[in-house]
C-alpha cells in the first residue's frame, strides 16, 4: 500500500531543489490539462497546442536551469552519491553514453482556481529508452553546488523530491513524491535505515498530475534547440490535491535542481545533475509595508491583526516590514495614533496581486484578504511641513522723505521647491499692528523670494517692515521679526537767518537769529552760529555760540562786537536729530558791513617850551642854582604860580637850559619867562625881569 506521510511544514521559502528520479510509481496516462490549470503539461512539447492554453513557450514565472556543456567540463555527482546522501561529492568529466546527459530543466508555478500548480521539464542530449530522474525541491538553497568538491545539500524537513520514471521507450512517465524526514521513526524512510532520509514514496495519479515524454522531434522555443524523441520530458502537478500544500498550512520552496540516477533503483548512484536555481513555489502570501516620509523623518508605530509576527513594528523613512510567509486568511495593518508631533498621514496605498487576494484602505488601516500565492504591498506616506525662517534686508535703513525704499527677503530651511507668497508690510509701531501700508505680495518660486515694491514716505519717523510667508503644502508659514527691520525717515529742513543789523559802526554788537522750516514739530539738535571774513565761509571764523533747538525753535546767537571795519558773513549750521537731517544757511545770505569811523580835524597851537640862561661875571667856580619859571598868559606880572618851573645847578659861568619834554603850552596868549640865579658865597644872585623873554601862541 502506498501512503502519504505527514511532514513538518517548512519554514520560510529559501530554496527548492528539483530532481528527476526513477521511482516505482503508478503510471500516469497522458491526458488533457489538469483540472483548474491551462498548462499543457502532458503534450510532450513546449508550445501551445490549444488556443487559450499555456505551455513552456508562454508560461509566466519561468525559471531555467542550464547544465555545464557536455564533455570533460560537465559535472556530476561522484563517490557513489545516493539520494539519501546530504553530503555529496561533485566531480568533472563526461557522462557515460548509457546514462542521461542532462542539458537543462524548466520550472514554473502558479496559484489558480484555488490550487497551487507546479510545472517541471527536463532535457538531455542522448536518446535512451528509459530515464530515472529526480527533481529535488528545497526550502533553502545550496550555493556553489555545481563546483567540483565536497558539498552538503541544504535540506530542511519537508523538502520535496519529485520522481520521474519511464522505460522501454515509453512516453508516459511514472510520477511520485517523497518528503525529507528529520525526526521520528525510521519506518518513515523509503530506503534508508537512519534519519534524516527521504520518506516513503507516494505515487501520483491522473487526478493530481500529468506528464509526457516527446515521442517525436520537437523544438525548444526557449533555447532554440531541436530535441529528438525521448530527450524531453515534462509534468504538471496539483500540489494542493497531492497534499504538498495542505489547506491552511503555509509552505514555500525557494530552490530546485535536476539529477539523474544510474538505474531504476532508488538506491542507485546519482550521476549527472543541473545545479540549483532560485524558484518561488509557495502557497504562502507576502505582505510588505513600506514607509515614505516627506520633509523629514520620524519613527512610526504599527499594529497588526491576524497573527502576523511580529505583531507590532516601527518604521522610519525608507524602512520596510516584510511578512514573507503569510497563510491564507484576513489581516490588518494599522499605523498607530497619535502620530509624532507635526506629522500627518498623507496617503496609504495598497496593491494586491494573486487570485483571491485583495487589500482595501480606510484611514490608517490596511485590510488584507490573503489567498495562496498572493502578494500585498502597502506604502504609508507621512508628511510634515518644514518650518522655514524668513530674513529681510532693507535697501536702506535711513532715508529722506520722498526717497523710495524696498525690502528683500530670504527663506532658509524651506524645501527646495518652496512656493507660496510673501507679503511685505510697513507699520508705524514696533509691534507691527498700527497703520499698515502694503509693499506688495510676491510669488515664491523654488524658495526664491522677489523684492517688495518701493515705498516713498511723506512723513518723518521710525517705520517697521515685516515680511510674512504664506507657506505651502510642504512649508509652514513664517513671519520676520517686526523689530528686525527699522527704517528711519528724516526730513530735509532748511534754515533761514536774520541779523540784528546789516550795517553798523565799529564797536557795535550784532547777533543773529535763525528759524527752521520743513522740520518735525519735535525737532531737536543744535544750531551753531559762526561769522566769517570771506563769502565762502571758510576764513576768519569767529563763533557766535551753539544753541539748543527745542521743538523746532532756535535761540538767537551770542552778540559779537566788531572793532574793525569790513564785510562779515554769518552762517547758521543745524545739526539735525533722529528725525531731521542737518541744514546750513547760505553763506552769502547774511552780510554784515562794519563801516569805518568818519574822522574830523581841528588845530590847536601848542609847544613844549624850554629856556636858556647865561651867567657871566661870576667866579669860575660859581655855584648855586638857576630857577626857570614860565608864567601863562593869565599872569602878566609873573606874580602867581608858574605854569612850569625847573631848577638847574650852576657850575661856573656859562649857559644853562631847561630840559622840559612833557609840559605843553597851549593857552593862547603871551607866555613869560622869569629866570633867577641864586648866587653863592662868592657871587651875588640875579633875576631877569618878568616877560623879558616871552612867546605868544595865537589861535589858528
Query: Regarding predicted confidence, which is higher, 97 or 343?
Result: 343
Answer whether 77's CB lies under 8 Å from 270's CB: yes
pLDDT of residue 26 exceeding 60: no
Whole-angstrom Cα distance, residue 239 to residue 302? Answer: 35
Look at residue 22 in the predicted model and tell me its pLDDT. 32
CA angle 150, 155, 156 (to 5 degrees): 155
pLDDT tens, residue by residue, 626-636: 999 999 999 99
Cβ neighbors of 281 (< 8 A, separation 6 or more) are: 13, 16, 107, 109, 116, 118, 137, 239, 252, 253, 254, 256
Task: Please count the CA atoms within 13 angstroms of the CA of 189 that sit on its side-chain side.
Answer: 17
Look at residue 99 in the predicted model and tell me its pLDDT. 87
Whole-angstrom Cα distance, residue 526 to residue 545? Answer: 10
Whole-angstrom Cα distance, residue 524 to residue 545? Answer: 16
The residue-averaged pLDDT of 476-501 equals 94
Give me the residue label for grid cell 498700527: 434
C-alpha cell belonging to residue 359: 487589500
pLDDT of residue 675 exceeding 90: yes
pLDDT of residue 23 exceeding 50: no
The residue-averaged pLDDT of 410-431 equals 96
Q: Band of the pLDDT at 356, cuts 50, 70, 90?
A: confident
pLDDT tens, residue by residue, 278-334: 999 988 899 999 999 999 999 999 999 999 999 999 999 999 999 988 988 999 999
Q: Band of the pLDDT at 98, cuts 50, 70, 90?
A: confident
Query: Regarding predicted confidence, which is higher, 11 or 80?
Result: 80
Ordered DSSP codes for 528-572: EEEEESSTTS-SS-EEEEEEE-BTTB-PPPPPEE--S-EEEEEEE
Query: At residue 587, what are phi and psi to the nearest 5 degrees?
Result: -60, -40
The residue-averaged pLDDT of 332-360 equals 95
Whole-angstrom Cα distance, residue 518 to residue 460? Answer: 10
Cis amide bond preceding 338, omega within 30: yes
Query: What fold is seen in the domain 392-490?
Result: Immunoglobulin-like (2.60.40)
Cα 415 versus chain centre, distance: 8
pLDDT of residue 602 exceeding 80: no
Answer whether 240's CB lies under 8 Å from 177's CB: no
Cis amide bond preceding 310, omega within 30: yes
pLDDT of residue 663 exceeding 60: yes
Whole-angstrom Cα distance, residue 162 to residue 258? Answer: 10
- Comparing 126-135, 310-319, 476-485, which segment has the lowest mean pLDDT? 126-135
Whole-angstrom distance between the N-terminal and C-terminal Cα of the chain?
185
CATH architecture, domain defined by 288-384 = Sandwich (2.60)
C-alpha cell belonging to residue 354: 494573486
Look at residue 603 in the predicted model and tell me its pLDDT. 67
Average pLDDT for the chain:
91
Query: Regarding predicted confidence, which is higher, 578 or 570?
Result: 570
- Comparing 8-17, 54-63, 128-137, 316-325, which segment has the lowest mean pLDDT? 8-17
CATH architecture, domain defined by 494-595 = Sandwich (2.60)
DSSP-derived letter for residue 461 is E
Q: Is 103 helix (H, G, I), strand (E, B) or coil?
A: strand
Whole-angstrom Cα distance, residue 304 to residue 324? Answer: 15
Amino acid at each position: 500500500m502506498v501512503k502519504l506521510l505527514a511532514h513538518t511544514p517548512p519554514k520560510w521559502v529559501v530554496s527548492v531543489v528539483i530532481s528527476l528520479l526513477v521511482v516505482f510509481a503508478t503510471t500516469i496516462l497522458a491526458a488533457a490539462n489538469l483540472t483548474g490549470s491551462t498548462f499543457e503539461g502532458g503534450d510532450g512539447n513546449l508550445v501551445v497546442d490549444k488556443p487559450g492554453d499555456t505551455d513552456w513557450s508562454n508560461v509566466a514565472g519561468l525559471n531555467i536551469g542550464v547544465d555545464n556543456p557536455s564533455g570533460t567540463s560537465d559535472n556530476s555527482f561522484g563517490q557513489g552519491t545516493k539520494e539519501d546522501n546530504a553530503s555529496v561529492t561533485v566531480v568533472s568529466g563526461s557522462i557515460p553514453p548509457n546514462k542521461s546527459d542532462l542539458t537543462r530543466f524548466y520550472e514554473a508555478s502558479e496559484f489558480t482556481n484555488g490550487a497551487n500548480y507546479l510545472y517541471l521539464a527536463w532535457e538531455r542530449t542522448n536518446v535512451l529508452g528509459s530515464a530515472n530522474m529526480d527533481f529535488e525541491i528545497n526550502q533553502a538553497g545550496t550555493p556553489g553546488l555545481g563546483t567540483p568538491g565536497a558539498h552538503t545539500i541544504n535540506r530542511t524537513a519537508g523538502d520535496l523530491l519529485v520522481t520521474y520514471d519511464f522505460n522501454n521507450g515509453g512516453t508516459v512517465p511514472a510520477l511520485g513524491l517523497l518528503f525529507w524526514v528529520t525526526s521520528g521513526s525510521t519506518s518513515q524512510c523509503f530506503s534508508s535505515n537512519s534519519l534524516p532520509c527521504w520518506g516513503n514514496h507516494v505515487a501520483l495519479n491522473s487526478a493530481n498530475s500529468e506528464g509526457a515524454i516527446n515521442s517525436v522531434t520537437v523544438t525548444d522555443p526557449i533555447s532554440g534547440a531541436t530535441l529528438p524523441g525521448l530527450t524531453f520530458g515534462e509534468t504538471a502537478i496539483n500540489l494542493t490535491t497531492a497534499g504538498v500544500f495542505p489547506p491552511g498550512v503555509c509552505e514555500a520552496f525557494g530552490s530546485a535542481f535536476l539529477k539523474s540516477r544510474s538505474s531504476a533503483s532508488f538506491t542507485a548512484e546519482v550521476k549527472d545533475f543541473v545545479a540549483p536555481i532560485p524558484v518561488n513555489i509557495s502557497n504562502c502570501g507576502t505582505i510588505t509595508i513600506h514607509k515614505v516620509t516627506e520633509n523629514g523623518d520620524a519613527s512610526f508605530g504599527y499594529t497588526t491583526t491576524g497573527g502576523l509576527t511580529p505583531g507590532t513594528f516601527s518604521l522610519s523613512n525608507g524602512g520596510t516590514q516584510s511578512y514573507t510567509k503569510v497563510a491564507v486568511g484576513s489581516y490588518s495593518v494599522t499605523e498607530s495614533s497619535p502620530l509624532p508631533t507635526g506629522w500627518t498621514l498623507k496617503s496609504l496605498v495598497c496593491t494586491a496581486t494573486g487570485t483571491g487576494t485583495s487589500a482595501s484602505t480606510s484611514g490608517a488601516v490596511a485590510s488584507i484578504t490573503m489567498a495562496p500565492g498572493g502578494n500585498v504591498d502597502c506604502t504609508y506616506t507621512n508628511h510634515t511641513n518644514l518650518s522655514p525662517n524668513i530674513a529681510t534686508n532693507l535697501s536702506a535703513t535711513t532715508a529722506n522723505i520722498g526717497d523710495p525704499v524696498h525690502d528683500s527677503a530670504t527663506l532658509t530651511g524651506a524645501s527646495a521647491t518652496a512656493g507660496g507668497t510673501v507679503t511685505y508690510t510697513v507699520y508705524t509701531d514696533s509691534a507691527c499692528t498700527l497703520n499698515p501700508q502694503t509693499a506688495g505680495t510676491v510669488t515664491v518660486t523654488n524658495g526664491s523670494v522677489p523684492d517688495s515694491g518701493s515705498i516713498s514716505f511723506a512723513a518723518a519717523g521710525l517705520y517697521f517692515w515685516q515680511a510674512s510667508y504664506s507657506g505651502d503644502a510642504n512649508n509652514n508659514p513664517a513671519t520676520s521679526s517686526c523689530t528686525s527691520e527699522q527704517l528711519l525717515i528724516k526730513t530735509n529742513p532748511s534754515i533761514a537767518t536774520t541779523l540784528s543789523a546789516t550795517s553798523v559802526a565799529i564797536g557795535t554788537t550784532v547777533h543773529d537769529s535763525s528759524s527752521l522750516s520743513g522740520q518735525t514739530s519735535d525737532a531737536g539738535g543744535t544750531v551753531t552760529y559762526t561769522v566769517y571774513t570771506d563769502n565762502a565761509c571758510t576764513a576768519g571764523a569767529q563763533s557766535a555760540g551753539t544753541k539748543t533747538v527745542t521743538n523746532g525753535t532756535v535761540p538767537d546767537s551770542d552778540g559779537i562786537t566788531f572793532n574793525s571795519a569790513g564785510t562779515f558773513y554769518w552762517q547758521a549750521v543745524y545739526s539735525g536729530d533722529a528725525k531731521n537731517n542737518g541744514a546750513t544757511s547760505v553763506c552769502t545770505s547774511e552780510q554784515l558791513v562794519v563801516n569805518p569811523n568818519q574822522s574830523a580835524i581841528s588845530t590847536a597851537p601848542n609847544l613844549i617850551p624850554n629856556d636858556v640862561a647865561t651867567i657871566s661875571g661870576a667866579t669860575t667856580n660859581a655855584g648855586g642854582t638857576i630857577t626857570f619859571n614860565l608864567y601863562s598868559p593869565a599872569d602878566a606880572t609873573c606874580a602867581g604860580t608858574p605854569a612850569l618851573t625847573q631848577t638847574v645847578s650852576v657850575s661856573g659861568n656859562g649857559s644853562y637850559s631847561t630840559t622840559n619834554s612833557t609840559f605843553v603850552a597851549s593857552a593862547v596868549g603871551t607866555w613869560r619867562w622869569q629866570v633867577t640865579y641864586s648866587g653863592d658865597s662868592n657871587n651875588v644872585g640875579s633875576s631877569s625881569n618878568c616877560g623879558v623873554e616871552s612867546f605868544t601862541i595865537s589861535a589858528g
